[in-house]
Amino acid sequence: MDTTGTMETVKPPAIQVVEEQNHDPKRDILESLRPTLYACSSVQRIHGGLLNATYRGSLINPLQNGRCTVIIKHSEERDPNIPQLTLSLTRCLAEQAILRGLGRTPSHQVQHKQISIQVPQLYQYLSDQQTQIFEDFSQNGTLHDFLTSAAARERITASTAVALGEALGSWLSRFHAWSKTPVDADLRNIVEQNSNGFDRNLRDFRFHKLLAIQKQYESEHLGHYAALMHSREFGRKDVIVHGDFSTRNILIQDPSAIDEEKDTSLAVIDWEACCLGDYTRDVAEMVADLYMQNILYGSKVALSIIQGLIGAYPPLDEEAAYRTVAQIGENFFYWNVYAPTCTDEQESEFVRLGIDLIDKGVGRDREGIKTTFFECIFRLS
């Protein structure tokens, strides 16, 4: 398929948001925490998204471990100002269940060279308020913000970048190995509910997005891929996956330490998209995220991280490798999730590359994949 030439930009459907007047969400959060051990004197919003808001709270009474702050995540199913959007609250149940489950497994923390990766401890889930309270990681930011900074790209050595990728691959491998085992029945049931709830909402959105792209561009395999993805027939559907495994959902503590190859701690957060699916989904999302950093910022560091991740993760069989390539391609259609802005030329490149990789992956075009960076996925066992 010829994907060269000028392509019209595909933009996601616009969502109109009307600001709600005379409402103080911080006051609501403080009131919901008042009767708990995590009552706060103040909260500061540190992240917000559609139907989610995350705060750092200053505790009135320090915890037994001496910490004086917590992270508070509040979720909603609907927003009266965005009536066209609904996200199932099964995501709250799934997130708290998976964190409790992982806290009792070796996947809770993995050490690789100077880098440790863990999941945050869930302190409490207030089901009536759809509010979760987590441990806080001081001096942190997202791995995405760190890697996309000019200073990080200049200071991180290739060996450190590879080690970072190896740590991510080692952690993901251990998590998937655990998720393929007979996990607690209650946990599995909750994750299955999220597969039929929140993840179904996401698949509906993805399905319509893919069909909209197919209408604009010729693609031999895009429609077939969309149908398989929507019906959960694309690959396995019996493994617990993170569902949104990207550098945006990894915290890095004291980022300056990694520049100097000192001990560095990472935390994998935002588990609300966890579901039963194909383990290659997590691999594809992280690879696509990092490769987009190369396109947007010319980051060779990101490419080294990919190489480390693929090298540390167990080799994929041939069919899994093809599925991974196709899913990497789909992730390029959601560039605006990973980067607030990009040039028209970059956006067109994402769409071209996405269509091309879906065609090559679904069409099992090994020779075509060999001509791309993503030949590294075929590290066959």
Decide if 78 is inside a domain: no
Strands 264-268, 40-49: pairing is unpaired
CA angle 145, 199, 364 (to 5 degrees): 85
Decide if 160 is inside a domain: yes
Instruction: Judge whether 363 and 323 are in contact, CB under 8 Å.
Output: no
To which residue do tokens 């167990």 refer?
314
How many angstroms from the chain centroid is the CA of residue 24?
29
Decide if 58 is inside a domain: no
pLDDT in tens, 85-96: 788 899 999 999
pLDDT in tens, 153-183: 788 888 899 999 999 999 999 999 998 888 8
Per the structure, the complete domain to which residue 249 belongs is given by 87-121+138-377
> Which helix or strand (DSSP H or E) is residue 69 part of?
strand 69-75
Decide if 69 is inside a domain: no
Helix (H, G, I), strand (E, B) or coil at 214: helix
Domain count along the chain: 1
Choose among 332, 377, 327: nearest CA to 352.
Answer: 332
**Predicted confidence band of residue 107 (pLDDT cuts 50, 70, 90):** confident
Query: Which pair of structure tokens corresponds to residue 35?
Result: 């009767």
Choose among 340, 284, 349: nearest CA to 10.
Answer: 349
pLDDT in tens, 232-280: 888 888 899 999 999 999 999 877 777 666 788 999 999 999 999 999 9
Decide if 55 is inside a domain: no
Residue 208 sits in a domain of what CATH number? 3.90.1200.10
Decide if 34 is inside a domain: no
> Which helix or strand (DSSP H or E) is residue 90 part of?
helix 90-102
Decide if 31 is inside a domain: no
What is this structure's pTM?
0.88
Decide if 21 is inside a domain: no
Contacts of 22 (CB under 8 A, 6+ apart): none
Choose among 367, 374, 366: nearest CA to 324.
Answer: 374
